[in-house]
Structure 1
Amino acid sequence: MPSLRARHRLRAELWIVPLLCVLGAIALSLITVAVDRAFDDQLVPTSITGKPDAVSSILSTIASAMVTLTTLVLTVTTVAVQLAMGQFSPRIVRALLQDRASQLAYGLFASTFTFAMLAQRELNAVGDGSVPGLTVLVAYLLMLASIAALFLYIHHAGNSLRAAGLIDLVGDHLHEQIDRLYPADDVASSAGDVVVCPEPGIVVDLDRPALVAAAREAGCVLELVPMMGDFVPVGAPLLRIHGEPVRLDHAHLVELVVLAAERTHGDDPAYGFRKLVDIAERGIAQPFSDPSTAVMVIDRLHDSLRQLAIRPFPTGQHRDAAGEVRLVERVMSWEGYVRLVFDELRLAGASSPQIPRRLFAALHDLKTVAPPDRQPALDREIELLTAAVQDQFDDGPDRYAALTPDQQGIGSGPDLTPQPTLASEPAHR
């Protein structure tokens, strides 16, 4: 039995799995060669493998392609890991290097190269016009498997290097460690009127017609506890049942609520606002400071809010064919969208003249189309933005300029900056 230290190193090292795959390829080559020799290289006809010259060319191409592919994949992975370390955390690299799926992909590429080289050697050793058919056929299959693994690896690596993928990678490992080191006692089952979440995730979609049908059949009302886009921990309430809960299958209800690692646009328009605000904040934040990009983002935020300003909002109540409420969910309000768009940009960009000028222009334009019951949310933002600008600028021309609405940030707004009066000249009345 290896020591604890040795087992730890075997789990932590990147090269262990690829090395085992290469050794497996060598063993597989010895087996296929022995089988071919036992059948005098007649087990697989040349109509499938090809003539010796064609097979030799194909095996050489496979070997060189696998070397190039392995080098490219390792180079791209190294660059991606460096970017992830710089953007997220330098401590994330260990979790990435220990990713078994990536190690298996490297191992498959290396083993395909090894097997192709050994198959080429056996082909040259035969030298009588025959082809070790089984060995060559396995080399072809490994090549096809490597092509499939390449696409799967690109998909896996792309998901793993997203913010949500990296967070889930570390979070899943942490969850496993907690379960191993702090095993849970027998926990009492949840109350019959609460459906708990069996796995962590963000609510991205739900089958409303099926939930309504289930509630109608049971004669109850279902309440979705989290809002669309909310994260739900394991064991937290997912649905509440108002009425008779006995006839409802909790496992079936859980399947009707879709959880994912990150929010999506499918049924969550607030996520689109969220991402645009993030881009604008990056344009404002130091040391990048690109307020023109932030103004372009505010243009799209302004446009989207203008479309929402005059449209009715859903109540979150879903009824069956008889008109009875069967499903209730919390929905985003007009005030929520306004705060989502303006609050963070106001706090982050009040000191940059372009940002408040463009925000004032958006707010004043929204007031021209928003109905009376939606005006207070806009008035609140104008009041808070005015106070933020006054805190950032001393009383004078700069303050007045920053308080001036401007559709371009700086360029198209009216010149409302008062001209300073010179000490030697009397002020005009």
Structure 2
Amino acid sequence: MVSLRFRHRLRASLWITPLLCVLASIALSLVTVAIDRRFGDRLVPVSITGSPDAVSNILSTIASAMVTLTTLVLTVTTVAVQLAMGQFSPRIVRALLQDRSSQLAYGLFASTFTFAILALREVNAVDGSAVPGVTVLVAYLLMLASIAALFLYIHHSGNALRAAGLIDLVGDNLREQLNRKYPATAPPPARPGVVASPEPGLVVDLDRPALVAAASEAGCALEMVPLMGDFVPGGAPLFRVNGGPDRLDHTRVAGLVVLAAERTHGDDPAYGFRKLVDIAERGLAQPFTDPTTAVMVIDRLHDCLRHLATRDFPSGQHRDGSGEVRLIERTLGWDGYVRLAFDELCLAGAASPQASRRIRAALEDLLTVAPPERQPALHRQLDVLVAAVDHSYEDQRDRRAALVADQQGIGSGGDLGAGAGCRG
């Protein structure tokens, strides 16, 4: 039981990995010093390491820089962890502290400082004209490694502290625990008519020409199951195979789909709508409302939908050189973009006159440019908005005022002209 508790504490401790790195740097220093004392300065010439005075200054600078860098990194990490605890969950801190990549970065910084101090002592201890070349060279290499680790650490921490990074951190740990506790007794049965995902992730891109070529070679057609931006669990279907699935290389086809932890703008315009709506909803959320931000977001949603109102949408069918359909891709159409832009905002903005008036103005303007077959989606949003506003206000005059079309939210509506009442 003592051993089990001890191992658990070691796994949960932030300090153990940096401490091991420091001990390793001390051992490395003893080895390099022994080599230098055995061979003198014959292994590494002074032209590479520098003169004793230069080496002493450089090592002093490295040591002081590493102390400052380590202190700064730990301070910033502490603040970032506190922000993550407040933004996401206080229970996320343990997963962040157990992140081995961060612990190795701290250990490298501390090791470089320790090694530089020990190397500086050796430089001052030897004859004035000699330099412990191997020791100094290793100190320089550790300094360069620390610089590289700093940039990698910044990149890693920036990714880890995103919402997707934190979710993946916990999700990956959970998946590993499930695999250990409930090991698979046999691989899942192969399904010849389905191309399964090799790993979990969000669909962010796919190589359409290569998919068409692979399906053409196999004499089949691929029907994509997830939409761009959908999350696909590991082992879930990526494609349904129509035709001859036996000749299709499933591993190659699965590798032509890019899965990631977070959606991107590269081939997923719906993600831009999603982020704009998120910003607007935050501006409308209680208790700290910022309806002006929501109006600015609706301006951009209005502009983007106006661009799409008269444009053709791809069918999602991709053909090979002979005209055969080889890839069927699910795509988002006009109705989907309208619902993505306004479904949530009509409900969230009903209690804010600025938001409801701006949404009404956007929908009425879009009705003037959208073809007849695309207008039902806009009329549906108007009905949702009216119903939500009716539910939010008891006074009929407030309801009428909240449903006046206004490009500024409150500022340019027809009820704000000379002689117009505040409440219609």
Pairwise TM-score range, normalised by the shorter structure: over 0.9
The answer to whether the 8 Å contact 1:291/1:355 transfers is yes
Q: Secondary structure at the match of 1:115?
A: helix
Partner residue, 2:313: 313
Q: Residues 258-297 of structure 1 correspond to what in structure 2 (within 5 A)?
A: 258-297=258-297
1:232 is matched by which residue type in structure 2? Answer: V
The Cα shift of 1:41 comes to: 3.2
Whole-Å separation in 2 of the counterparts to 1:116 and 1:395: 75
Which residue of the partner structure matches residue 223 of structure 1? 223
Residues 1:407 and 2:407 aligned together: yes
Instruction: State the Cα deviation string for residues 104-134 of structure 1 (Å, max 9, x = none).
Output: 0000000000000000000111143211111
Secondary structure of 2:245's match? coil
Query: Contact 2:415 / 2:422 at 8 angstroms: preserved in 1?
Result: no
Shift of 1:2: 7.5
Shift of 1:346: 1.1
SS in 2 for 1:3: helix
Distance 2:159 2:172 in 1: 15
Q: Mapping of 1:354-393 within 5 angstroms?
A: 354-393=354-393
Amino acid at match of 2:269: P
Is structure 2 residue 301 aligned with structure 1 residue 301? Answer: yes
Give the corresponding residue for 2:25.
25
Structure-2 separation of matches of 1:121 and 1:368:
80
Q: Distance in 1 between matches of 2:260 and 2:372?
A: 38
Contact 1:220–1:241 (8 Å) recurs in 2:
yes
- Matched to 1:218, the amino acid is A
Where 1:195 maps in the other structure, the secondary structure is: strand
The answer to whether structure 1 residue 84 and structure 2 residue 92 are counterparts is no
Displacement of 1:188 = 4.3
Letter in 2 for 1:329: E
Native 8 Å contact 2:52 2:128 kept in 1: no
TM-score by length of structure 2 reads 0.97
2:44–2:134 contact (8 Å) kept in structure 1: yes
Q: State whether residues 397 and 418 of structure 1, in contact with CA within 8 Å, keep that contact through their aligned partners in structure 2.
A: no
How far apart, CA to CA, are the structure 2 residues paired with 1:134 and 1:38? 11
Letter in 2 for 1:304: C
Percent sequence identity over aligned pairs: 75
Please state whether the residue corresponding to 1:242 is helix, strand or coil.
strand
Deviation at 1:420, TM superposition (A): 9.9
Pair 1:93-2:93 in alignment: yes
Paired residues of 1:204 and 1:260 also in contact (CA < 8 A): yes
Pairing 1:21-420 to 2, within 5 Å after superposition: 21-415=21-415
Amino acid at match of 1:32: T
Q: Secondary structure at the match of 1:283?
A: helix
CA contact (8 A) 2:197 2:254 kept: yes
Give the whole-Å Cα distance in 2 for the aligned partners of 1:419 and 1:318.
Answer: 57
For 2:124 and 2:422, locate their aligned partners in 1 and report how far apart those are by CA, in whole Å: 93
C-alpha contact (below 8 Å) 2:316/2:329 kept by paired residues: yes
Amino acid at match of 1:278: D
The offset of 1:190, in angstroms, is 2.2
Using the alignment, how far apart are the partners of 1:368 and 1:93 within structure 2?
Answer: 52
**Residues 270 and 337 in structure 1, CA contact (< 8 A), matched pair in contact too:** yes
**Distance (whole Å) between structure 2 residues aligned to residue 253 and residue 311 of structure 1:** 31
Task: Find the aligned partners of 1:60 and 1:271 in 2 and give their Cα distance.
Answer: 50
After TM superposition, give the deviation of residue 408 of structure 1 in Å: 0.2
Counterpart Cα distance in 2 of 1:54 and 1:346: 69
> 2:299 is matched by which residue type in structure 1?
D
* TM-aligned CA deviation for residue 329 of structure 1: 1.3
Deviation at 1:89, TM superposition (A): 0.4
Deviation at 1:6, TM superposition (A): 0.7
Runs of 4+ in structure 1 off by over 6 angstroms are none
Letter in 2 for 1:297: V
Q: TM-score, normalised by structure 1?
A: 0.96
What is the CA-CA distance between 1:418 and the residue it aligns to?
Answer: 7.4
- Note the C-alpha offset of 1:419: 5.2
Which deviates more, 316-325 or 57-66?
Answer: 316-325
Counterpart contact for 1:14–1:103, Cα < 8 Å: yes
CA distance in 1, matches of 2:76, 2:378: 47
* Inter-partner Cα distance in structure 1 for 2:257 and 2:188: 23
Matches of 2:371 and 2:422, distance apart in 1: 39
